[in-house]
């Protein structure tokens, strides 16, 4: 709109510039008169100047608002509209500010502020969306109580807190807990609820609801159970109780992220809450359970204690991700959850940390905060907390957390506040540990060993490559969980945590009868890249004998990577010893099926590319693809005679239950089916497709068939069956691209963008197509450059519709410096083309410039 002039130098915000707001906000009263293109928002806000304010400029954020009137203590005032908001002369004593603005939710395709999704009104305010609803000090350290009146003819009209009244055409809500504006929410539409209830440990009854569009009622039961489990778990493990009489969850189809923790009114991307056996896979169920927990846990870590400013985002996100991971580990399998998280960390966070978008978990500058909802802030932020817990021990961890809740309830805090509770609870100095929050980049830890006269020595050398703006790095505190095995496979030293604090450091173990085999970085005790020269036979030994399940998997994973790297670099044949080890494992019914499925899942092609890059090679995507194909084909042949038996033995009979046990078995069964499909022409997969009564098995069969180019009929049938289900259709869109060969991936994606059900307005659908393209490593990076071109074109088209999603998806290009000069030139040209687009959003501009300038 009339904001900044096009292509004006974007403003950068710095952590060091933090200044508190000069006014207390005593209370907020909002009245909404809903109308799709002309919603009126009346605000009545009581401000009191702070006596000790260093700055008493009265500035309220506001964007894309039409100001109708402004009053102070009932008298009209003239506000000066300035860049990003307004200023006004105000009294030096407490006063009532009133403003009336008009907004256009139906035209809001950015999905930030108040917008419409399938005829339903809904809001998204984090991080800085409230300023698109009314003029306000839209910053997380300004907290107030909100009273909301909604006027409109929608059957259901919700806001935060508790309902205080309703009648024909209106509803009123009051939230007694002071909160920052980013936690404000409003939903209105034709909705139905799936009810539930929970009694807290102190005996308070809480009404629970999941609100959905009519037709989706049948997909709420699982989410409701997950919510109750989360509420119970937070009481049991952290002693934290829910604090309102009502907890509402709403599912919306158009949403930029996964879900949002608005106080008492969580809003979810429908893909992250709606579930049924017929339409959701095991992976969907697990993710939904985790996200419901995550948003619920935010009630304490995020809402009751929030962030002082957005630089502190990982204070709430890192901690809440850490908590939801603990929850999932408790509800399901601890080692499986850890392995899944490390796979995801390496797939998403390591490339970020090693590329042009690298930033510390607590960044010190940004142009657009929406660009910092990253794997580093979330997942590395959680890893940092995991390290802290390991260093201080469980008891101290919970002691520190209790102190955190006691000391900071109702406050907007910083990382300093967070670390201080640990220092106070444990007496430990965390100044060096704090580097994890300020230094970007993944540390590399080189390990060497020595054995003489019964004494075994491990020497660690840590270093972190330069990242944008941070050429030099200081050594960090790295908790290194280590165990030692004897050559016959017995554990001779149980897990202990070595604390690395120096650039180079040695640790000795005495009294060992023979040179042990070390199991290093157990449970992945720190987010680092371990570099150690070792043999494949030692890896195979650890895969067979390590007592730490994570490291057993890790040994197999490292072995798989070595084998694949050798295939790519030297054209070697798949290592026979490794194939034997895999065969042994997959046939070993003593082993947990989920674990076997994980070991049987090959490292991703982009993981191989990343590994090659880390070792100084230029990855060739096509060769990586070919090696993956050859390897899988060889493995299938090796297992040929046992596959039918294994398939039968791992098939889960009986009614579908989305629990961890069944999911593990189905994951293994799915892996076996995909191998079998390479040999039997798709016979078994076709049978499974025809008889499946749940999405996990239907999808596994379809994926196996499509990968083998034998799924045309089933793909058509799938479309016919599910075309009215948006979430299942997202799978259908994505799968075609994921299964496409490198040379056809871009063309397949392009064709799908012409499909009548493709839409730029629905982020899930856009991501299904463009995310799948970016995820097809060899297809996206195909030498023709067609993948790059198609993504760039679509990002340019999306930018004017939805800047947030565009900017996030730009990150698909972040690994561009890994590849050869021809590909680099192709990507650079696309990035420059995006940057040259007129009226490019601030979001996308920042992302693309960062990628180009590094
Ligand atoms: N705070 C949300 C979460 O992590 C994520 C989110 C951020 C959602 C910004 C919407 C917008 O749970
Ligand atoms: Zn969160």
Q: DSSP string spanning 209-247?
A: EEEE-TT-GGG-HHHHHHHHHHHHHHHHHH-----SSEE
| Closest CA relative to residue 690, chosen from 717, 657, 665, 654 | 717
Output 574-581 pairs: Cβ under 8 A, ≥24 positions apart: 574/630, 574/631, 574/634, 574/635, 575/536, 577/536, 577/537, 577/540, 578/536, 578/540, 579/634, 579/635, 579/638, 581/540, 581/543, 581/544, 581/556
The 3-state secondary structure of 800-836 reads: CCCHHHHHHHHHHHCCHHHCCHHHHHHHHHHHHHHHC
Confidence (pLDDT) at 268: 99
Confidence (pLDDT) at 73: 98
Nearest CA to ligand 1 atom 2: 260
* 370 CA: nearest ligand 1 atom: 9
- Compute the distance from residue 259 Cα to the ligand 1 centre, in Å: 6
| Gap between the terminal Cα atoms of the chain | 31
What confidence tens digit (pLDDT) does each residue in 766-808 have?
Answer: 999 999 999 999 999 999 999 999 999 999 999 999 999 999 9
What confidence tens digit (pLDDT) does each residue in 211-270 have?
Answer: 999 999 999 999 999 999 999 999 999 999 999 999 999 999 999 999 999 999 999 999
User: What secondary structure letter does DSSP report for 681?
Assistant: T
- Compute the distance from residue 385 Cα to the ligand 1 centre, in Å: 19
DSSP run (H or E) holding 62? none
Q: From the CA of 374, which ligand is nearest?
A: 1
The residues lining ligand 1, judged by C-beta closer than 6 Å to any ligand atom, are: 124, 126-127, 257, 259-261, 294-295, 317, 373
Q: Is residue 463 predicted with pLDDT exceeding 70?
A: yes
- Compute the distance from residue 397 Cα to the ligand 2 centre, in Å: 21
* 112 CA: nearest ligand 1 atom: 11
- Compute the distance from residue 790 Cα to the ligand 2 centre, in Å: 31
User: What secondary structure letter does DSSP report for 361?
Assistant: S
Would you call the peptide bond into 127 cis, given omega within 30 degrees of 0 as the criterion?
Answer: yes
* 373 CA: nearest ligand 1 atom: 7
Report the residue among 258, 288, 299, 369 best suited for mutation to probe ligand 1: largest number of ligand atoms under 8 A from its CB.
258
Q: Is residue 6 predicted with pLDDT exceeding 80?
A: no
What is the reported pTM? 0.98
What's the mean pLDDT in 691-714?
98
Nearest CA to ligand 1 atom 9: 126
Confidence (pLDDT) at 1: 40
- Compute the distance from residue 298 Cα to the ligand 2 centre, in Å: 7
Report the residue among 259, 268, 317 best suited for mutation to probe ligand 1: largest number of ligand atoms under 8 A from its CB.
259
Confidence (pLDDT) at 5: 45
Residue 155: which residues within 8 A CB-CB, separation 6 or more? 189, 190, 191
Report the residue among 327, 373, 379, 805 best suited for mutation to probe ligand 1: largest number of ligand atoms under 8 A from its CB.
373
| Closest CA relative to residue 602, chosen from 530, 680, 671 | 671
Q: Is residue 22 predicted with pLDDT exceeding 60?
A: yes
Confidence (pLDDT) at 3: 45
pLDDT above 70 covers what percent of the chain?
Answer: 99
Confidence of residue 54 (pLDDT cuts 50, 70, 90): confident
Q: Which two tokens stand for residue 605?
A: 């092609």
Q: Is residue 10 predicted with pLDDT exceeding 90?
A: no
What confidence tens digit (pLDDT) does each residue in 291-340 have?
Answer: 999 999 999 999 999 999 999 999 999 999 999 999 999 999 999 999 99
Residue 323: which residues within 8 A CB-CB, separation 6 or more? 234, 238, 293, 294, 297, 301
* 378 CA: nearest ligand 1 atom: 4
- Compute the distance from residue 132 Cα to the ligand 2 centre, in Å: 22
* 295 CA: nearest ligand 1 atom: 12
Confidence (pLDDT) at 8: 60
Nearest CA to ligand 1 atom 5: 260
629 is catalytic: no
Confidence (pLDDT) at 854: 75
Report the residue among 132, 183, 256, 257 best suited for mutation to probe ligand 1: largest number of ligand atoms under 8 A from its CB.
257
What confidence tens digit (pLDDT) does each residue in 616-632 have?
Answer: 999 999 999 999 999 99
Q: Which of 151, 295, 383, 846 is catalytic?
A: 295
Mean pLDDT of the chain: 97
What confidence tens digit (pLDDT) does each residue in 390-399 have?
Answer: 999 999 999 9
Confidence of residue 2 (pLDDT cuts 50, 70, 90): very low
Confidence (pLDDT) at 4: 44
Confidence (pLDDT) at 9: 74
What confidence tens digit (pLDDT) does each residue in 81-133 have?
Answer: 999 999 999 999 999 999 999 999 999 999 999 999 999 999 999 999 999 99
Q: Is residue 700 predicted with pLDDT exceeding 60?
A: yes
- Compute the distance from residue 257 Cα to the ligand 1 centre, in Å: 6
What confidence tens digit (pLDDT) does each residue in 404-434 have?
Answer: 999 999 999 999 999 999 999 999 999 999 9
Nearest CA to ligand 1 atom 1: 260
Q: Is residue 135 predicted with pLDDT exceeding 80?
A: yes
Q: Which residue has the higher pLDDT, 573 or 8?
A: 573
Q: From the CA of 269, which ligand is nearest?
A: 1
Confidence (pLDDT) at 279: 98
Confidence (pLDDT) at 835: 98
């Amino acid at each position: 709109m009339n904001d900044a002039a096009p292509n004006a130098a974007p403003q950068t915000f710095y952590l060091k510039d933090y200044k508190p707001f000069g006014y207390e906000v005593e209370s907020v009263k909002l009245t909404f008169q809903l109308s799709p293109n002309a919603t009126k928002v009346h605000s009545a806000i009581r401000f009191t100047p702070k006596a000790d304010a260093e700055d008493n400029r009265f500035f309220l954020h506001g964007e894309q608002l039409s100001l109708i009137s402004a009053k102070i203590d009932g008298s009209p005032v003239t506000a000066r509209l300035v860049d990003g908001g307004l200023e006004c002369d105000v009294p030096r004593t407490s006063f009532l500010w009133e403003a009336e603005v008009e907004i256009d939710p139906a035209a809001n395709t950015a999905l930030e502020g108040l917008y419409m999704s399938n005829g339903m009104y809904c809001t998204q305010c984090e991080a800085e969306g409230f300023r698109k609803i009314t003029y306000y000090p839209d910053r997380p350290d300004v907290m107030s109580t909100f009273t909301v009146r909604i006027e409109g003819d929608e059957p259901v009209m919700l806001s935060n807190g508790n309902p205080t009244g309703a009648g024909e055409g209106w509803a009123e809500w009051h939230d007694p807990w002071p909160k920052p504006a980013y936690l404000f929410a409003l939903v209105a539409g034709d909705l139905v609820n799936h009810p539930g209830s929970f009694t807290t440990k102190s005996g308070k009854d809480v009404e629970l609801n999941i609100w959905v569009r009519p037709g989706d009622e049948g997909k709420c039961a699982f989410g409701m159970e997950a919510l109750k489990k989360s509420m119970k778990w937070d009481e049991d493990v952290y002693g934290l109780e829910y604090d309102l009489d009502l907890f509402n969850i709403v599912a919306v189809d158009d949403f930029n992220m996964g879900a949002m923790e608005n106080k008492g009114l969580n809003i979810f991307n429908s893909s992250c809450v709606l579930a049924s056996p017929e339409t959701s896979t095991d992976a969907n169920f697990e993710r939904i359970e985790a996200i419901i927990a995550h948003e619920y846990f935010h009630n304490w870590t995020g809402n009751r204690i929030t962030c002082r400013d957005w630089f502190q985002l990982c204070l709430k996100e890192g901690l809440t991700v850490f908590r939801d991971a603990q929850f999932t580990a408790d509800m399901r399998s601890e080692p499986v959850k850890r392995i899944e998280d490390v796979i995801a960390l390496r797939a998403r966070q390591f490339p970020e940390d090693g590329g042009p978008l690298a930033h510390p978990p607590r960044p010190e500058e940004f142009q657009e905060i929406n660009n910092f909802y990253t794997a580093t802030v979330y997942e590395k932020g959680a890893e940092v907390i995991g390290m802290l817990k390991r260093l201080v021990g469980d008891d101290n961890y919970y002691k520190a957390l209790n102190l955190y809740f006691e000391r900071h309830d109702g406050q907007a805090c910083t990382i300093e506040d967070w670390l201080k509770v640990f220092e106070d609870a444990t007496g430990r100095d965390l100044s060096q540990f704090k580097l994890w929050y300020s230094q970007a980049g993944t540390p590399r830890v080189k390990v060497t060993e020595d054995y003489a006269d019964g004494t075994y020595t491990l020497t660690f050398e840590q270093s972190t490559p330069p990242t944008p703006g941070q050429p030099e790095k200081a050594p960090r505190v790295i908790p290194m969980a280590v165990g030692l095995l004897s050559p016959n496979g017995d554990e001779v030293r149980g897990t202990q945590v070595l604390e690395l604090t120096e650039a180079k450091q040695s640790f000795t173990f005495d009294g060992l009868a023979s040179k042990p085999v070390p199991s290093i970085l157990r449970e992945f005790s720190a987010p680092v890249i371990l570099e150690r020269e070792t043999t494949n036979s030692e890896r195979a030994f650890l895969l067979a004998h390590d007592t730490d399940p994570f490291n057993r998997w890790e040994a197999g994973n490292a072995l798989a990577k070595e084998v694949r790297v050798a295939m790519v670099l030297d054209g070697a044949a798949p290592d026979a010893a490794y194939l034997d080890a895999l065969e042994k494992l997959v046939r070993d019914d003593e082993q947990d099926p989920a674990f076997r499925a994980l070991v049987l899942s090959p490292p991703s092609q982009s993981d191989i590319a990343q590994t090659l890059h880390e070792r100084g090679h230029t990855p060739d995507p096509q060769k990586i693809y070919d090696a993956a194909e050859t390897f899988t084909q060889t493995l299938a042949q090796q297992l040929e005679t046992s596959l039918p038996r294994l398939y039968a033995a791992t098939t889960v009979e009986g009614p579908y239950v989305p629990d961890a046990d069944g999911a593990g078995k189905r994951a293994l069964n799915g892996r076996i089916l995909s191998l079998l499909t390479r040999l039997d022409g798709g016979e078994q997969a076709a049978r499974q497709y025809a008889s499946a009564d749940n999405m996990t098995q239907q999808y596994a069969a379809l994926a196996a068939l499509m990968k083998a180019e034998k799924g045309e009929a089933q793909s058509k049938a799938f479309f016919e069956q599910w075309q009215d289900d948006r979430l299942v259709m997202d799978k259908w869109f994505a799968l075609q691209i994921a299964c496409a060969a490198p040379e056809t991936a871009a063309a397949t994606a392009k064709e799908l963008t012409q499909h009548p059900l493709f839409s730029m307005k629905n982020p899930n659908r856009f991501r299904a197509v463009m995310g799948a393209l970016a995820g097809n490593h060899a297809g996206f990076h195909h030498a023709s450059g067609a993948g790059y071109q198609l993504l760039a074109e679509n990002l340019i088209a999306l930018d004017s519709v939805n800047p947030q999603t565009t900017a996030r998806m730009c990150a698909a290009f972040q690994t561009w410096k890994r590849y050869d000069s021809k590909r680099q030139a192709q990507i650079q040209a696309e990035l420059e083309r995006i940057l040259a687009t007129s009226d490019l959003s601030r979001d996308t501009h920042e992302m693309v410039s960062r990628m180009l300038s590094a």
